Structures are given as C-alpha cells and as structure tokens.
Amino acid sequence: MKRIGMLTSGGDCQALNAAMRGVVKSLSNCLSDLEIYGFLDGFRGLIYGDYRMLSGRDFSGILTKGGTILGSSRTPFKTLDEPGDDGINKVEAMKKNYRDLSLDCLVILGGNGSHKTANRLREEGLNIVTLPKTIDNDLYGTDMTFGFQSAVDIATGAIDCIHTTADSHRRIFIVEIMGHKTGWLTLNAGMAGGADIILIPEIPYEMDKIINAIEERDRKGSKFTILAVAEGALSKDRAALSKREFKELMKDYPYPSVSYEIADEIRKRTDREVRVTVPGHMQRGGSPCPYDRVFASRLGAEAGKLIAEEEYGFMVGIRNREIVKVPLAEVAGKLKTLDPGASIVKEAKLLGISFGD
C-alpha cells in the first residue's frame, strides 16, 4: 500500500488539475494498492489536517479544467517559523499530520515560495516530490513551468484585441502583463501580440527612450503604439535604489501600478491619448491550452514513476525538451530571471521592438 498526499500551493494557474491527474494515473498504472489524500487550500490544509480521501473518480474529466480541485492559498516561507495567531508551530504541525496519516510521499505543486517550503520539509525528513507551476516561468531548474503557455495565450489575446481599437482611435495603449520580478510572460506575449515597446523588470527603462520610440513611430506614419508592460517594470533610477530606499519611495506612490505612471508621463510629454488595459487574473484563469495539458500530464506521469520507484527529494522539470528530475536543494530559493543579453531579446530588438533602454 502506498499512501500519497497532494496539495497545490500559492497562486493558481492553468493545468494544476491536469498535473495531479497525471500523477494519479501514472501511480495507478504502476501500483496495485494506492491511497490519495488531498490537502485542501495548500499548506494550510497540511498544517491543520484539513484533507479528504480522493479516488480515481475525482481525477476523471479534469484534464481541461482550470484552477485546482484542492483549492490553494499562500503560506509565506518567511513566516514558516512564526507561530500563527493560534500559536501553532507550522512546521511541526505539517510533519505530525504527514506522519499521522502514514504518508509515503507528499506531492507539492507550486512556484518559488512553495518550493522553498517543500525543500524545508525534505530537510525535516519528509519524502517530497514537486511539480513546477507558475505563469511567470521563473522557477529555477526547469526550462518551462506549466501555466506559462496558457497565460501567454491569454495575454497575447488581450494585446490582439487592443490593436483594432488603438488603430481606430490613433491612441497609445499600455497592456499591463503579470510578472513582478521577471519578464518571461511580458516578453513572449508582447512579441506574439506585436507590441512596439516591451518593458520588463530585467531591463530597466528610461522615459526618454520610450518617448523617442513613440515619436519615431509617429514620424514613420504609424497611427498608434502598443506597450506591453510587466507589472514589475522598473525605471533605471529606481533599479539603482536599495530595497530599503525603494520601499521608502513607494510608500506614498500615487498610481495603481507602474503602467499608469508611464501613461501619465507619456500624456504630459506627447499630448497624446493613452489608455491602460490590465488583463489581471484573467491570465491565470480558464482552461489550460493544449501545450500545458500535454506538458503537465508528462510531468505528472514522471512524478508518479519517481514515487513508485521511491525516488524522493526531486522536482520534475523539463530541460532541452526532455523531462528530468532536479534535486530540490538546487531549486529552492533561486529565481530564474531573463538574461537581458538573451538571444530572444536581441531578436526582438532586430524586429524593431524597444525595451526602453
């Protein structure tokens, strides 16, 4: 008998259900006796022992379903050793519930913070296997995370829809794309959607360069300009600040986000109409695209194989189009940022896209 726990942690995304389905189908084909315990609402369920037994029926028909059948929540790694209002020691509670259920392994589907917690539980002696989910594609150790391609499709669709209205009204449009620390999503959606200017956290921008790019398009007879802006885009001045200085500066920030600040500055300096569109959480919702369905299923199948063979302490990822196992210790606490000198950035610039640098 194998007893497996599963949880989905952090922000939701497409293909979480597809990945869990892949794990269970793989295990069911490898093992004759299997019990699955689904912890509800992420690590919170593991902390408080909030779970339910799952059967094969629970995983039927969920390949195309967005979100997560287990629910999710955020349990910040930095507060892991701080007792909650109820005084519970989170780490000890998770270990106790794992052992009380006599689990053989815990499968964790999550992003950066979740992988830090997963590695902590591994260090505490629990058998852990993880799967890389995030629309930001910023998880170290894997070329791709599931949810990313689906989010690219949605963000690209938003930019596509903006084109006709921008052209009709001769306006400047800013489409704000998710991504606080990395620009993978904004770069890919911006290129796919034909954005003229792409601003990402890894390449700090200068307003003068943005204005120059807009005015150059005007000189060439273009009626409109579309900017794809990551929510974590930074000016060169702000990128040079320390964390403390930046936090102090942003205390009384008068704008909802950086996109509105950029829009305000463009209006002042060009006397042009500027509109901001924020697809927001739409980028994480809806059904997973076919790529993510296949990719998440492959990851899940390999995770099931690792568990059946009792190989624990790994994240299942993809490198050079092949599914691989990566030691959790190599993943935890590392962010996969976009190299400003990467070939995709150089190629985007060859296409005439400005990065404001």
| 327 and 247 inside one domain | no
Examine residue 357 and state whether it is found in any structural domain, yes or no: no
Q: Which of 12, 136, 138, 153 is catalytic?
A: 136
Which three-class secondary structure state does DSSP give residue 257?
coil
Quote the number of domains for the chain. Answer: 2
218 assigned to active site: no
| 280 and 295 inside one domain | no
- Which residue numbers in the chain have pLDDT < 50? none
Residue 83: what pLDDT? 87
Maximum distance among all Cα pairs of the chain, rounded to whole angstroms: 71
| 237 and 319 inside one domain | no
| 202 and 308 inside one domain | no
Please report, for residues 9, 25, 230, the alpha-carbon distance to residue 115 in angstroms, rounded to integers and kept in the order given.
Answer: 9, 23, 24
Q: How far apart are CA 180 and CA 118, in angstroms?
A: 22
Write out the residue range of the structural domain in which residue 81 sits. 2-147+288-331
Residue 223: what pLDDT? 87
CATH number, domain with residue 42: 3.40.50.450
Instruction: Return all residues near 305 (Cβ < 8 A) that are at least 6 apart.
Output: 26, 30
Q: How far apart are CA 288 and CA 70, in angstroms?
A: 17
Residue 288: what pLDDT? 98
Residue 224: what pLDDT? 94
| 243 and 232 inside one domain | yes
97-141: per-residue pLDDT in tens?
Answer: 999 999 999 999 999 999 999 999 999 999 999 999 999 999 999
Strands of 225-230's sheet, edge to edge?
197-199, 225-230, 172-177, 274-277
| 227 and 119 inside one domain | no
| 229 and 172 inside one domain | yes
Please report, for residues 24, 213, 316, the alpha-carbon distance to residue 130 in angstroms, rounded to integers and kept in the order given.
Answer: 14, 43, 6
Q: Give residue for tokens 């995709």.
A: 344
Contact 314, 306 (CB under 8 A): yes
Which three-class secondary structure state does DSSP give residue 313?
coil
